[in-house]
Amino acid sequence: MTVADRWLLPDGIEEILAPSARRAEMLRREMLDLFDCWGYELVIPPHLEFMESLSAGVGHDLDLQTFKVTDQLTGKTMGLRADTTPAVARIDARTSSEGPARLCYAGSVFHTKPASLGASRSPIQLGAELYGHAGVESDIEIISLMLETLSSVGMNSANVDLGHVQIYRSLVQFASLTADQEQQLFDALQRKAGCEVRDLLDSWQVKPDAADMFMALTTLAGSPAILDVAREKLVAAPDEVFAAIDQLETIAGIVNSQYPETNLYFDLGELRGYNYHTGVVFAAYVPGQGQAIAKGGRYDGIGQVFGRARAATGFSTDLKVLLELKALLDMKPADTEEQGAVFAPVDADASVIGQLRREGNRVVCQLPDQETDAAGTGCKRQLVCRDGEWTVIDV
């Protein structure tokens, strides 16, 4: 192996160097402070767990995304977490509180394959989850917190896609589809393959009213006005479908009133995370980014495998993506770089340096025999002694 080979990292695995690493950490702190202001408690799950915990209640897709290793102590299979939600659900299941629980997290996750073309396989997942409340109000709170998160990096006019997986689930039950048929139809709907959907329904001899409603799902997407169209085209659907549409309408009304610059788009055939989510699903997009920069939804009952099934909703994003977005929007880093670091000469008073640091200044001390001056260390200010007093000046 050559020296050059030793520099290589696996595809999709990145390191963050200075000064970007400092900006990333400051942004992480800013986001966690935001979550804290909303009452969300920080938790730090382990990166490595037994597979029984990591894949509990989240479907087959996450299992495929998980790096697996053998525990040398027990012989059991462990995995590097590919998503933080299962671990947070386990943490919530261990608590004794019966009321709503607000939890947040920020840490690396690891994917066997990139989630999309060019995506990182080691995103820094940042998210918030609300357990113990099944009402639409908690969904609105989570969506609002997601929008506040994006606003913190300068994105005040995100595009938010809204859907509801219960619509498809209810229609599947109404049509009495088998599990295999449900999955085949799901795959076709995800690709918006209308002709394929029709062929499948015809081959299964699905009753006409159910078939028409499945076909309608391929076109029921657009502005909030599409919800009224949905009520007309899904008129024969079970009551659960209309309850889901009503929920989406309620969410749209409140989110629009609180965040009028947000553009809402509805897709009633959107089944993102179908094996994982149980109700409202949403994703935020910004111009110039082909993939969602934040997403989430409702996943009631995820804690059942841990002995405590509770209502749950949440969202997550990638801190690396937020950092890039912030740079693209020409936002100044959330750190002390506006004033600039202070360069302290080798003979500077230690007590003065200490006071500057306690006040939140970044101070770089000159070392003996170091010829580099303030400009050479990237400092914009310098500590100098004038008339026996140490003072900070711009350089």
- Gap between the Cα atoms of 88 and 95, Å rounded: 11
Lowest mean pLDDT segment, chosen from 166-170, 200-204, 288-292, 308-312: 288-292
Asked if residue 149 and residue 123 are part of one domain, the reply reads: yes
Lowest mean pLDDT segment, chosen from 148-152, 238-242, 275-279: 275-279
Residues 6+ apart with CB under 8 A from 369: none
CATH number of residue 127's parent domain: 3.30.930.10
The answer to the question of residue 244 being in a domain is no
Average pLDDT, integer, range 248-274:
93
The answer to the question of residue 123 being in a domain is yes
- Gap between the Cα atoms of 345 and 376, Å rounded: 13
pLDDT category of residue 1 using cuts at 50, 70 and 90: low
- Gap between the Cα atoms of 313 and 130, Å rounded: 5
Asked if residue 383 and residue 345 are part of one domain, the reply reads: yes
Residue 287 has pLDDT above 90, yes or no: no
Asked if residue 92 and residue 8 are part of one domain, the reply reads: yes
The answer to the question of residue 108 being in a domain is yes
Among residues 103, 67, 89, the alpha carbon closest in space to that of 311 is found at: 89
The single residue listed with the structure tokens 């001056």 is: 373
Average pLDDT, integer, range 321-348:
77
Tokens of 181: 């048929």
CA atoms in the 13 A half-sphere facing the CB of 236: 12
Asked if residue 293 and residue 377 are part of one domain, the reply reads: no
- Give me the pLDDT at residue 336, please: 40
Q: What value, to the nearest 5°, has the Cα angle with vertex 177 and ends 173 and 180?
A: 130
The answer to the question of residue 7 being in a domain is yes
Asked if residue 376 and residue 319 are part of one domain, the reply reads: no
Among residues 301, 322, 329, 326, the alpha carbon closest in space to that of 313 is found at: 301
- Gap between the Cα atoms of 262 and 156, Å rounded: 7
- Give me the pLDDT at residue 261, please: 94
Tokens of 148: 């506040």
The answer to the question of residue 232 being in a domain is no
Lowest mean pLDDT segment, chosen from 60-64, 147-151, 247-251: 60-64
Which of 362 and 58 is assigned the larger pLDDT?
362
Among residues 337, 291, 22, 327, the alpha carbon closest in space to that of 154 is found at: 327
Asked if residue 295 and residue 389 are part of one domain, the reply reads: no
Tokens of 60: 């087959």
Asked if residue 129 and residue 73 are part of one domain, the reply reads: yes
Q: Which residues pair with 49 in a beta bridge?
A: 79
pLDDT tens digit sequence for 19-76 = 899 999 999 999 999 999 999 999 999 999 998 887 766 666 788 899 999 999 999 9
Q: Kindly write down the DSSP assignment for every residue of 339-365, as one continuous string.
A: T--EEE-TT--HHHHHHHHHTT--EEE
pLDDT tens digit sequence for 189-248 = 988 889 999 999 999 999 999 999 999 999 999 999 999 999 999 999 999 999 999 999
The single residue listed with the structure tokens 């009952």 is: 301
pLDDT category of residue 356 using cuts at 50, 70 and 90: very high
Asked if residue 348 and residue 309 are part of one domain, the reply reads: no
Q: How far is CA 358 from CA 153, 186, 354, 365, 382, in A?
A: 27, 58, 6, 15, 17
Domain closes at, from 328, 358, 382: 328
Among residues 294, 248, 289, the alpha carbon closest in space to that of 272 is found at: 294
Neighbour tally for 104: CB within 10 Å: 25
Asked if residue 98 and residue 27 are part of one domain, the reply reads: yes
pLDDT more than 70, % of the chain: 95
Query: Helices marked H in the chain — which ranges?
Result: 3-7, 20-37, 51-54, 60-64, 85-94, 136-152, 165-175, 179-190, 194-204, 208-217, 226-233, 239-258, 319-328, 350-358
pLDDT tens digit sequence for 77-129 = 999 999 999 899 999 988 867 889 999 999 999 999 998 888 899 999 999 99
- Gap between the Cα atoms of 191 and 193, Å rounded: 5
Q: Are 382 and 342 in contact (CB under 8 A)?
A: yes
Asked if residue 140 and residue 85 are part of one domain, the reply reads: yes
Residue 333 has pLDDT above 70, yes or no: no
Q: With a threshold of 0.85, does the pTM exceed it?
A: yes
Asked if residue 368 and residue 316 are part of one domain, the reply reads: no
What's the domain count of the chain? 2
Lowest mean pLDDT segment, chosen from 117-121, 247-251, 277-281: 117-121
The answer to the question of residue 110 being in a domain is yes
Sheet of strand 363-365, all strands in order from the earlier edge strand to the far edge:
363-365, 342-344, 381-386, 389-394
Q: Are 308 and 96 in contact (CB under 8 A)?
A: no
Asked if residue 380 and residue 298 are part of one domain, the reply reads: no
The answer to the question of residue 176 being in a domain is no
- Give me the pLDDT at residue 334, please: 43
The answer to the question of residue 385 being in a domain is yes
**64: domain range?**
3-158+286-328
- Give me the pLDDT at residue 57, please: 60
Helix-strand-coil split of the chain, %, nearest 5: 40, 20, 40
* Cα distance between the two ends of the chain: 46
Q: Are 76 and 104 in contact (CB under 8 A)?
A: no
- Gap between the Cα atoms of 330 and 120, Å rounded: 22
